[in-house]
Amino acid sequence: MNIILLGPPGAGKGTQAEFIKKQFHMAHISTGDILRQAVKENSPMGIKAKSFMDQGALVPDEVVIGIIQDRLQQQDTMKGYMLDGFPRTINQADALNEMLKGLSSWDQDRAIQHVVYLEVPELELVQRLQGRAAKEGRVDDNDETVKNRIKVYFEQTSPLIDYYEAKKLLRRINGRGAIEQITKDILSVLS
C-alpha cells in the first residue's frame, strides 16, 4: 500500500505516521526529517534548505522533488511507502505523478491508493505548535515561524485537498481528539 499523509503543520502527521508504519510495514518518507538531517550534517542541500526552513517557508520544489525521486528508487519502497510532508504544492503533486509513471519499476502497485487528510482547526494548530516549541525546542516552532508555516499551508498546500478529492483519493480524518481514536479512524480507512 502507498499513501500520502496530508494536513497542516501540527496536525499530528508524524505521530500517526509511526503507528501506520508499524501496522503496514511501509517505508516512511518524511521530507521534513530528511531536510532536518541534511541541515544537521551541513550538506549542500542542508545549507540551501536551512534559511527557508528557519523562516517557515517552503524549500524550493526542485529540492524536495529531488529527494522523493531518489527515495522512491530505493528497494524498501517497493513493498509500500508513506509520504509524510510531501507533496506540499500542486507542482510537487504533479511532479509526483510524473515520476511514478516514469519509474522503471512502474505498475499499478506503485500508485498512491489513499491520501489521508488530517483535519484540524486553525486555532488549535497554533496552540499545538507553540506547545511543541516549548517541549522539543524545534527552531522553526517559534511564534513568527509557526504563523508563517500555517499561512504557507493554507496558501500553497491546502489546494491539494481539492486536487486529491477530484482524483477520488482523499480520506478525511478528524484530527481532533485522542491520539488512539485518530489512529483507529485512519486504520479503518486503510484496511
Q: Which residue from 17, 58, 95, 116 is in contact with ligand ADP, where contact means CB under 6 A?
A: 58
Q: Under a CB-based contact definition with an 8 Å cutoff, are residues 115 and 170 in contact? A: yes
Q: Is 85 in the site for ligand ADP (CB under 6 A)?
A: yes
- Cβ contacts of residue 149 below 8 Å, gap of 6+? 9, 56, 129, 140
Rounded Cα distance between 153 and 66, Å, is 21
Q: In whole angstroms, how far apart are CA 26 and each of 109, 115, 170, 176?
A: 13, 15, 19, 25
Establish if 115 lies at the interface with ligand ADP (CB under 6 A).
no
Cβ atoms 117, 172 nearer than 8 A = yes
Residue from 52, 90, 99, 124 in contact with ligand ADP (CB under 6 A) = 52
32 binds ligand ADP (CB under 6 A): yes
- 117 φ, ψ (degrees, to nearest 5): -105, 115
> Which residue(s) pair with 115 in the sheet?
4, 170
64 is a contact residue toward ligand ADP (CB under 6 A)? yes
Residue 149 as a binder of ligand ADP (CB under 6 A): the answer is yes
Which of 2, 6, 9, 185 lies at the binding interface for ligand ADP (CB under 6 A)? 9
Q: Is 132 a catalytic residue?
A: yes
**Pick 9 or 175: Cβ nearer ligand ADP:** 9
Choices 55-63, 73-81, 161-169, 176-184 (CB under 6 A): range interacting with ligand ADP: 55-63
Q: Which stretch binds ligand ADP (CB under 6 A): 17-25, 54-62, 110-118, 160-168?
A: 54-62
53 binds ligand ADP (CB under 6 A): yes
Q: How many whole angstroms from its chain centre is CA 169?
A: 15
Sorted by sequence, the CB contacts under 8 Å of residue 39 that are 6+ apart come out as 46, 47, 49, 50, 53
Residues with a catalytic annotation lie at 13, 88, 132, 138, 149
- Which parts of this chain interact with ligand ADP (CB under 6 A)? 9, 31-32, 35, 52-53, 56-59, 64, 85-86, 88, 92, 140, 149
